[in-house]
Chains A and B, each alone.
Chain A
Amino acid sequence: MRRFFELVATYGVWVVGVSSFLSCLLVPIPTALVMLAGGAFAASGDLSLMAVLGAAYAGALLGDQTGFRIGRAFGSRLINLAERRPKVQDRFAKARDMVSEKGGPAVFFSTWLLAPLGPWVNIAAGAGGLNGVTFTLWDAAGEAIWVGFYVLVGYTFASDIQSLANILSNAVGFVVAGVLTLGFGVLLLRRWRARETV
């Protein structure tokens, strides 16, 4: 944690932008903490608040677009493979339909509420053939919440970022693990019920 604070203190907004970009591409950087620090150093007068917000937002949007495009390029190869097998092709078509229909909101929530899942969702959205404009709009809205929240919390509670970083990183883990637990729980329950009726 301190190492990342120190990086921001030394190299400024560039660290914020680059880390935001890379963390959208599965590079394990705690960008939330970097944004907190960026906000805090804006409050102390070391950095410009607008520059921190801008760098984090630009990095996030670029990173997400890159992931989406990688997914799209990779996805078309998968489809080519799938088309050779009728059974797989059928499942694939279903998955693609689901992404096209419900992909937007999934992208939205994966940018902020379930941020650790974001990079995966971007790739899946690209591979699943989500419309580029739909992706961009949902993504831009979600990232505004993600970036705005952390930078402004850092700005407002600058003196407390060490404590806040501990609380927030654990809270994110709790929400992500909690949502996945619920999802798996529902799936298990359905299977259990299906078994009983047999």
Chain B
Amino acid sequence: MSVFFKQNRVLIFAFALLLAGSLFFGWNTFQHTAHYRAASQDSSVEAWMTTRYIAHTWRLPRETMESLGFERQSDGPRPLSKIADERGVPVDTVIAEVEAAIAAHLAEMTQ
């Protein structure tokens, strides 16, 4: 046994490492799958999202986004971070505005 171990030290070490990696990634996959959530259920708007993506995810009518003063995009995507830059305000301000609009839209829907 010990001779075999000595001769294959590197191989055994690599095997153990890979086995640990498999267990780690396997467990993580399981965890993330178990806690699966759609963004719309999470109701957290983030800086990387474009106005169209937000409208798509929360199924908002076009007017909701337009009422926020985001000009209708002519071409190409615009994430909230870019809109915040253009307006010269922190991105959290824009996110708060969008979240309020979504909440208002949802309240309207449930009435």
Q: Tell me the minimal C-beta distance from B33 to chain A in angstroms.
A: 5
**Known contacts A170-B32, A181-B15; A46 and B52 CB within 8 A of each other:** yes
User: What residues of chain B lie closer than 8 Å to A3, measured between beta carbons?
Assistant: 48
Cα distance A195–B22 in the bound complex, in angstroms: 27
Q: Which residue of A lies closest to B35 (CB)?
A: A163
User: What residues of chain A lie closer than 8 Å to B57, measured between beta carbons?
Assistant: 44, 158-159
* Interface: A167 (CB within 8 A): yes
* Interface: B90 (CB within 8 A): no
Q: Is B77 in contact with A41, judged by CB distance below 8 angstroms? A: yes
Q: Tell me the minimal C-beta distance from B41 to chain A in angstroms.
A: 9
Q: Is B50 in contact with A173, judged by CB distance below 8 angstroms? A: no
Q: Is the contact region of chain A dominated by helix, strand, or loop, or is it mixed?
A: helix
Q: Which residue of A lies closest to B53 (CB)?
A: A44
Q: Is A9 in contact with B22, judged by CB distance below 8 angstroms? A: no
In the complex, 29 of the A-B residue pairs with CB atoms within 8 angstroms, ordered by the A residue number, are A5-B48, A6-B48, A9-B53, A10-B77, A10-B78, A41-B50, A41-B52, A44-B52, A45-B56, A158-B56, A159-B38, A159-B56, A160-B37, A163-B37, A163-B38, A170-B32, A173-B28, A173-B29, A174-B25, A174-B26, A177-B18, A177-B19, A177-B21, A180-B18, A181-B18, A184-B11, A184-B15, A188-B8, A191-B7
* Interface: A87 (CB within 8 A): no
Q: Is the contact region of chain B dominated by helix, strand, or loop, or is it mixed?
A: helix
Q: What total of chain B residues lie within 8 Å of the partner, measured CB to CB? A: 42
- B residues whose Cβ falls under 8 Å from a Cβ of A: 3-4, 7-8, 11-12, 14-15, 18-19, 21-22, 24-26, 28-29, 32-33, 35-40, 46-50, 52-53, 55-57, 73, 76-79, 81-82
Q: What total of chain A residues lie within 8 Å of the partner, measured CB to CB? A: 38
Cα distance A72–B35 in the bound complex, in angstroms: 46
